[in-house]
Amino acid sequence: MPTERSFADATEVVDRGDGTFGAHIPEGWDIVGNVDGGLLLAVVGRAVTTATGRPDPVTVTAHYLRPGRAGPAVVSTEVLKVGKRFSTARATLHARGSEVITALATVGELEEGVEVLHLDGGPPGLPPLEECELLVGGDGFPPAFMDRVEVRLHPEDTGFIRGAPSGVPQVRGWFRLRGGEPIDGIGLLLAVDAFPPTVFNASFPAAWTPTVELTAHLRARPAPGWLECAFRTRYVTGGFLEVDGEVWDATGALVAQSRQLALVPRG
């Protein structure tokens, strides 16, 4: 039974039997009034895994059309292909008569005991939890959403909170659901969009960066425990920036990669 305000509760979907799923996005998962993009992605992910009967998102792409608000929502799904190992579906989350996000997903079953053939990189090597700064939600920054999760930022990446950005557009930190609620593949879809914008640490003035598109690739189901996350921006050009994310589990396994394209705020 999902706890009130748990992640499981916030992403619960009710199968209406016609390819559509009812959802209800609770209060408190927002960033200055707009529901966190990762939570919207997770709701869509839950609908698609239910619709296809396959347990894990493998690759999910969402395009963000309008800000999401707390309240009732409907996810309409359409399964495009059922293969031996994977199924592919599209899904759109509607609320208050409009499309909020639209997604394309391939789902399957992630392997246990993940075989590693090549690694050129690793976990970000965060300092111990107690040396990393817990973001506590409020009316401004950090936003209310931060109380639904537990994000502890690398001390080198917290300068922006006190008006002294590091100059390096990255944010690294520990992540778990509030109180250590277990995280599955659906939870990883939240993790990849749960950190402050990388450009808060940039050397140029930056505001919230609206997501145009976000893609998450899942490699494995995470082992229990905190996740180590790193988000980095390399190119801010042409009015756009990318945010590349990596999520590593407590055993040191890569469990997700993400990339989003966001808009550079104007004026």
Binding marks (x or -) toward its own copies, 195..224, rule CB under 8 A?
A: ----x--xxx-------xx-x-x-xx----
Q: Residue 144 or 230: which CB sits closer to its own copies?
A: 230
Q: Environment class of residue 57 by beta-carbon count within 10 Å: exposed (0-12), middle (13-18) or buried (19+)?
A: buried
| In the complex, least distance from residue 148 CB atom to its own copies, rounded to whole angstroms | 27
Q: Residue 70 or 79: which CB sits closer to its own copies?
A: 79
Residue selected from 118, 162, 179, 267 as contacting its own copies according to rule CB under 8 A? 118
CB of 235 within 8 A of CB of 241?
A: yes
Residue selected from 93, 110, 151, 189 as contacting its own copies according to rule CB under 8 A? 110
CA 120 → CA 58, 116, 221, distances in Å?
21, 11, 20
| Cβ-Cβ contacts under 8 Å for 258 (sequence gap 6 or more) | 192, 193, 214, 215, 216, 217, 243, 244, 245, 246, 247
CA 95 → CA 44, 54, 76, 92, 228, distances in Å?
13, 25, 11, 10, 33
Measured in degrees and rounded to the nearest 5, phi and psi for residue 157 equal: -110, 10
CA 10, 37, 222, 220 torsion: positive or negative?
positive
Using CB under 8 A as the binding rule, whether residue 247 contacts its own copies is answered as no
Using CB under 8 A as the binding rule, whether residue 84 contacts its own copies is answered as no
CB of 216 within 8 A of CB of 192?
A: yes
Residue selected from 39, 58, 93, 186 as contacting its own copies according to rule CB under 8 A? 58
Using CB under 8 A as the binding rule, whether residue 51 contacts its own copies is answered as no
Q: Residue 8 or 114: which CB sits closer to its own copies?
A: 114
Interface residues with its own copies (CB under 8 A)? 58-59, 61, 63, 65-66, 80-81, 86, 88, 90, 92, 99, 102-104, 106, 110-111, 114-121, 169, 199, 202-204, 212-213, 215, 217, 219-220, 233-242, 253-254, 257, 259, 261, 264
